[in-house]
Amino acid sequence: MYKKLIEKAVEARKNAYVPYSKFIVGAAVKTKEGKYFTGCNIESASFTPTICAERTAISKAVSEGYREFEAIAVVGSLEDYTYPCGVCRQFIVEFGKNTKVIIAKNTEEYKVYKISDLLPNSFGPEDMKDV
């Protein structure tokens, strides 16, 4: 069911720019409309402007007008599972607390979560209603 999404995340890893950490991550997001967007992590010598693969993929989708996501796959090490960092978890929640997060080593070894399981009691757009 998630094979295509994971394959796209694995492929996106190849474009990672990680001269400092050497930690390669790829991500692929599937919109509710069935479109796919990929991303990789991109480092900067000053570290703060570094962007993770998950935020790259979502930013590409959002910049093309997509705001609702069915799932996102994250593939870091092919030896172990790589989970989204806290900033990425918050970024994913921004676009839906029911988004599926697939944490994969490959198309055969993966785990599926809802983002709300990975970031319980999150602060999202619905919390801004009184502002």
Catalytic residue among 7, 33, 54, 109: 54
Q: Where are the alpha helices (DSSP H) in the chain?
A: 3-13, 53-63, 86-93, 115-118
How many residues are given for the chain?
A: 131
DSSP state for residue 78 in the 8-state scheme: S
11 is catalytic: no
Which one, of 104, 125, 92, lies nearest residue 117 by Cα? 92
Distance of CA 2 to the CA centre of its chain: 14
Give the type of residue at 28: A
- The catalytic residue positions are 54
